[in-house]
Amino acid sequence: MDSKITDAYLNLYNKKGHSKEVRMSNLYEQVYEEGTNEDHNIADRNNIGYKDPETGEWVFKRASNTYVDGIVKASLGVTESGSYLKAILKHGKKAGVLDENEDINSSKVRLIYNYLSKDVPRNKLKSIISGLPDKELQNKFIANMNEPSAFNFYNIINSALGTSYGPDDAVVTMRPAGEEKKTRGAAGPGEALLAFLFNGRKPEVGDLDLDGVGIELKYNLGRVGKEVNTKQVKDFASLFYDLGAAGSVAGALTENGLQTIEQNYKDKSLGDFLEEYSGVGIDGKDKGYFSNINALEWFKENNNPSRGKFGNSTYNKLVQFVGAIQMKDYFNKIRDFDYLGVFNGRGDIAGFSRNTILGSNAQEIVNMMSGKNVVFTPRLDKEGFSVFLK
């Protein structure tokens, strides 16, 4: 039996001044004091030590293989990763992903750790976490916001870090700090992960602060417009035939709609029409552009009943103008930021400069957004419009 007993046990009892014989006797009693001989097969026993926080002394206890395999080994991965969890917690709070009262046992912290560590060598994981926020990643993100087409933020990460990250159901549904209790759909899938990987601190304006560059994020079907006159918007929709469920798709003018245009806009401009029905009025750039277009003539040339959510119907064409007008008004009502990013669940993002949007008329904005496969769509409540990256 001597060969099965560790020196740690003997050293522990030696501190009490006992002779080796006494120590052996005590060990015999500890190992065999309960159960059958079969239960106490020393080959199936493990010596586990820990330092008693009260006495500062090392204590060694017996543990079965079942306990070691089922509890100890299963916990080692998390135990060994304590420093990573702390790093994730610290960065997540700075990036506005984790609330201040969360700790390393937070489900969010564990989700992020499991996501980052999957298929990534431990030495690489350390460099990834310790390197956040990565200025190179931030600069690449900003550069892509100015490209003429949409981009994918996972591709930026993977090309820079040599990883293979992508959408993950558990992580993309995680919401940024403070968003869980909100009833509105403020945060889109992947927004918290995007903020964690690219952000450096919780921004005062917008959703991302990339080294001083503010970005306002809109997930697909995010609302545009602020303090909109919803009656005007509903009156606008009522001029057109409903072609989809709950009026989500509309087509050409109804009989009453056509009559309204013929009676009220024969000698008025399309700018007058948009002023009355946009819900926010129009600015000088849109007045200057649309005042040269006769409303009645425009409707005669564009009265199209085309079906489809992104169809070319009269209503959908006007929704693009009204959506652009409302978005400009929204930008002027909220605090300053540098870019708008419209993104979807795949991690695709279309970026637009705030100053460029504000310096353009609605037609120019529609052309700009169309070039990146972004459109405005009516909301089911008919009280406003959403932005959508195809």
Residue 111 forms part of a structural domain: yes
In a shared domain, residues 147 and 67 = no
What pLDDT is recorded for position 32?
39
In a shared domain, residues 29 and 96 = no
In a shared domain, residues 182 and 254 = no
Q: Which of 109, 108, 120, 220 is nearest to 173 (CA)?
A: 108
- Among 76, 102, 125, where does a domain finish? 76
In a shared domain, residues 345 and 291 = yes
In a shared domain, residues 281 and 255 = yes
What pLDDT is recorded for position 37?
47
Structural domain count, the chain: 3
Which residues lie closer than 8 Å to 355 by C-beta, 6 or more apart? 338
Residue 222 forms part of a structural domain: no
CB 218 within 8 A of CB 387: yes
- Among 76, 97, 127, where does a domain finish? 76
What pLDDT is recorded for position 71?
61
CA 286, CA 361: separation in Å to the nearest integer? 5
Pairing relation of β-strands 339-343 and 213-219?
parallel
Amino acid in the structure at residue 272: D
What pLDDT is recorded for position 41?
52
The residue range of the domain holding 156 is 81-196
In a shared domain, residues 19 and 112 = no
Question: CA Rg, the chain, in Å?
Answer: 32
Report how far apart, in Å, the C-alpha atoms of 167 and of each of 48, 64, 186 are.
Answer: 41, 40, 19
What pLDDT is recorded for position 34?
46
Q: Which of 363, 341, 343 is nearest to 353 (CA)?
A: 341
Query: Distance of alpha carbon 213 from its chain centroid, rounded?
Result: 18
Token pair recorded at residue 181: 């209790």
CA 289, CA 280: separation in Å to the nearest integer? 17
In a shared domain, residues 267 and 371 = yes
In a shared domain, residues 164 and 99 = yes
What pLDDT is recorded for position 28?
44
Residue 217 forms part of a structural domain: no
Ordered per-residue pLDDT tens for the chain, 390 residues = 443 444 544 454 454 455 555 544 454 444 434 444 444 454 556 777 777 777 888 877 777 777 666 665 555 555 557 888 999 999 999 999 999 999 998 999 999 999 999 888 878 888 898 899 899 999 999 999 999 999 999 999 999 999 999 999 888 888 888 776 554 445 677 889 999 999 877 777 778 999 899 999 999 988 898 899 999 999 999 999 886 655 556 789 999 999 999 999 999 999 999 999 999 999 999 999 999 999 999 999 999 887 666 678 899 999 999 999 999 999 999 888 999 999 999 999 999 999 999 999 999 999 999 999 999 998 877 778 999 999
SS (H, E, C) the chain: CHHHCCHHHHHHHHCCCCCHHHHHHHHHHHHHCCCCCCCCCHHHEEEEEEECCCCCCEEEEEEEHHHHHHHHHHHHHHHHCHHHHHHHHHHHHHCCCCCCCCCCCCHHHHHHHHHHHCCCCHHHHHHHHHCCCCHHHHHHHHHHHCCCCCEEHHHHHHHHHCCCCCCCHHHHCCCCCCCCCCCCCCCCCCHHHHHHHHCCCCCCCCCEEECCEEEEEEECCEEECCCCCHHHHHHHHCCEEECCHHHCCEEEECHHHHHHHHHHCCCCEHHHHHHHHCCCCCCHHHHHHHCCCEHHHHHHHHCCCCCCCCCCCHHHHHHHHHHHHHHHHHHHHCCCCCEEEEECCCCEEEEEEHHHHHCCCHHHHHHHHHCCCEEEEECCCCCCEEEEEC
Instruction: For the chain, report the end-to-end CA distance as a whole number of angstroms.
Output: 72
What pLDDT is recorded for position 292?
96
What's the residue count for the chain?
390
- Among 12, 44, 76, where does a domain finish? 76
Query: Distance of alpha carbon 117 from its chain centroid, rounded?
Result: 19
